[in-house]
Amino acid sequence: MKTLKLAIVAPCYNEEDMLPLSAPRLIDLMESLKADGRIAHDSFLLFVNDGSRDRTWQIIEELHQKNPMCHGLDLSRNVGHQNAIMAGMQTAVEGSDRADGVITIDVDLQDPLECIPQMIDDYYKGFDVVYGVRSSRESDSFLKRFTAESFYKLQATLGLKTIYNHADFRFMTRRVVLELEKYEERNLYLRGIIPMIGFPSTTVNEVRAEREAGTTKYTLRKMLRLAFDGITSFSITPIYFILGLGASFILIALCIAIYVTVSLLKGSVVPGWSSLMLSIWLVGGIIMISVGLVGLYVGKVYIETKHRPRYHINRRLG
């Protein structure tokens, strides 16, 4: 088998604190993999600058000057983690670079580099996709762990096939990236799409480490967005839930109708104000939630029909 030409893709958003620490480690890893003969000598690192407002791009430029193995991709603005990864992967397998495989890893290196040699060994065994799976999240805060794990469980209940506790640390061969490009959706949720592509795949277990420098770039807002995208892009179960809710309300209304008729026949006068107010608010609320939820899907259709580009490349190094 031909030696693998590997590209390691790392998305960076305001990572001036973390990048100077993680870049040397990634470079060392690449050197040792090359020395082992595990990967080809023209393998490279690709740092994707996702519209950072700090010195991230300057740092990437310095890295490139010092070591031509470090490539850089500068996006024109912040497009988010998922789109930044996509930009990096597409660039790495296309054009003159034509990497045979890519590994995506967050630049904070919370996913351990030690798993990478194993991912490469799995490639030589014939796997096209190797998922990094977080077997321990002890270093994460309780809130992060709880929200992340409940989210993975919720997805499973909603019928979405994802790899439990897998984030975006994975190996993919060139052909999988090319297949991935056929998915034209703009609400990218890679963890949901990649299992749909198929091809032989396996997992490596990892222990998630703590972020060493800088702070998390996933604000609560970004996390919620990703969660919503993950569900609404793949499942229409929430719509069925609303149907069920509507049906039970009709049932309740039927019971109330019987009650009203009976009291009317009995001749007892019902003051009615409180029950009326209650129903107005309740029904109004339900309708609003329903409309909002339908709106979520309509919103998606709206975005998808535009077929807008996912990102724009400003500059390219290497």
Site residues (vs Mg ion, CB under 5 A): 106, 108, 110
Instruction: Pick the binder of ligand UDP from 72, 80, 101, 318 (CB under 6 A).
Output: 80
Complex with ligand UDP: residue 32 or 219, whichever CB lies closer: 219
Complex with ligand UDP: residue 17 or 304, whichever CB lies closer: 17
How far apart are CB 216 and ligand UDP at their closest, in Å? Answer: 3
- What does the alpha-carbon distance between residue 283 and residue 9 come to, in Å, rounded to a whole number? 50
Determine if 23 is a binding residue for ligand UDP (CB under 6 A). no
How far apart are CB 191 and ligand UDP at their closest, in Å? Answer: 12
| DSSP SS3 for 237 | helix
Residues whose CB falls within 8 Å of the CB of residue 13, separated by 6 or more in sequence, listed in order: 49, 50, 51, 52, 56, 78, 81, 84, 217
- What does the alpha-carbon distance between residue 217 and residue 17 come to, in Å, rounded to a whole number? 12
Complex with ligand UDP: residue 4 or 23, whichever CB lies closer: 23
Determine if 15 is a binding residue for ligand UDP (CB under 6 A). yes
Alpha-helix runs per DSSP H in 129-219: 142-157, 174-180, 190-197
How far apart are CB 226 and ligand UDP at their closest, in Å? Answer: 9
| DSSP SS3 for 48 | strand
Complex with ligand UDP: residue 50 or 122, whichever CB lies closer: 50
How far apart are CB 230 and Mg ion at their closest, in Å? Answer: 17
Determine if 128 is a binding residue for ligand UDP (CB under 6 A). no
How far apart are CB 172 and Mg ion at their closest, in Å? Answer: 20
From residue 148, alpha-carbon distances to 130, 141, 153, 165, 210 in Å are 21, 11, 9, 8, 15
Locate the DSSP E strands across the chain: 6-12, 44-49, 70-75, 101-104, 129-136, 166-173, 201-207, 313-317
Within 82-101, which residues bind ligand UDP (CB under 6 A)? 84
What is the arrangement of strands in the sheet containing 70-75, beginning at the earlier edge strand?
A: 201-207, 129-136, 166-173, 101-104, 6-12, 44-49, 70-75, 313-317
Taking CB under 6 A as the binding criterion, the range among 76-84, 241-249, 256-264, 270-278 that sits at the site for ligand UDP is 76-84
How far apart are CB 277 and ligand UDP at their closest, in Å? Answer: 44
Under the rule (CB under 6 A), what is the footprint of ligand UDP? 11-13, 15, 50, 78, 80-81, 84, 106-108, 110, 216-218
